[in-house]
Amino acid sequence: MKILFYSILAVMLLLSGCATTEYGTNVPKTALDGEWMSTTSKATVRFDKGKISGNDGCNQFIGSYATQDNTLSVSDKMMSTMMACPDMENSTAFKNSLINAKIYENDGKKLLLLGGKGESLIELKALSNTLKEGLYHINHLNNGKQAVITLQTPISMQIQADGKMFGDTGCNQYTTSYTIKGNQITIGFPATTRKLCSPELMEQEKLWVNVLPKSFKISRNGEKWEVRDANGSLLFDMR
């Protein structure tokens, strides 16, 4: 199921790269560009030079938009994954509110989307595009065979401000170093403890240790961060 989900998402992203903005070329330069999250749910949206994408709380979506002054037009012809979730009503309402939004108010930290009569539809808060120090968990990892798998035991990653990184592979503890420059993160070769675990966890640890000592492109996607190789392939995500 997870492999199918990422395959559908990859097709959506490929199609978006070939699409032109439906509403023309009048798109914002900086006014809306960035990652935003609903103040009342986990739904997220990204505005990026005429392309809109995000997660409505259940499904990934992608489409186009245009602005003029403080007016907003979002295409109703969005592409979306088709997962079924318990709270579909709120997910549908979020996406419909995006489409119905006609005016925006943005102070850089909070974005308010309004309807044609000035009624409030969605309130969003800005999400940072810079990875901060703290504890993260990896739930999805590339298995080296062109597939991203769901880990039964999450891998942890503690990032410190002094350039040190450490965590738990699901079996052993590891420690390494890292540097961040722009949207690139470079991670050193990790040292690990030597405990023996189940074959499944040992294989997971092997995949993780082999993935780490490289430079990656890192980008925000809603609540999670995606780490990709030079070819754009997803290696793992973390949140």
231, exposed or middle or buried, with CB in 10 Å at 0-12, 13-18, 19+?
Answer: exposed
- pLDDT tens digit sequence for 119-163: 999 999 998 888 889 999 999 999 988 799 999 899 999 999 999
Q: What local confidence, expressed as pLDDT, does residue 13 receive?
A: 47
Task: Please indicate, yes or no, whether residues 104 and 51 belong to a single structural domain of this protein.
Answer: yes
- Same domain for 118 and 142, yes or no, is no
**Same domain assignment for residues 144 and 94:** no
Alpha carbon distances (Å) from 147 to 5, 9, 67, 124, 153: 11, 13, 38, 33, 18
The domain boundary, picked from 127, 151, 173, lies at 127
My answer on whether 37 and 81 are in the same domain is yes
On whether both 149 and 116 belong to a single domain, the answer is no
Say if residue 86 is in the same domain as residue 15: yes
Cα angle 102, 62, 186; round to 5: 120
Q: Which domain holds residue 82?
A: 2-127
Total domain count, the chain: 2
120 and 143 in one domain? no
CA distance 76 to 63: 8
Q: Given 107, 127, 147, which residue is the final one in a domain?
A: 127
CA distance 41 to 25: 31
Number of C-beta neighbours around residue 234 at 10 A: 17
DSSP state, residue 171: S
Residue among 208, 118, 106, 213 nearest 155 (CA): 208
Let me know whether 33 and 142 are in one domain. no
Instruction: For residue 79, give the CATH number of its domain.
Output: 2.40.128.270
Q: Give the C-alpha separation, 164 to 109, whole Å.
A: 30
Whether residues 196 and 218 share a domain: the answer is yes
Per-residue pLDDT tens over the stretch 69-118: 889 999 999 999 988 888 899 999 999 999 999 999 988 889 999 999 99
199 and 217 in a single domain? The answer is yes
Same domain, residue pair 33 and 92: yes
pLDDT at 48 over 80: yes
In this prediction, residues 159-169 reach a mean pLDDT of: 96
Which of 78, 94, 127 terminates a domain? The answer is 127
- Does residue 97 sit in the same domain as residue 148? no
Number of C-alpha atoms within 13 angstroms, CB side, residue 109?
A: 0
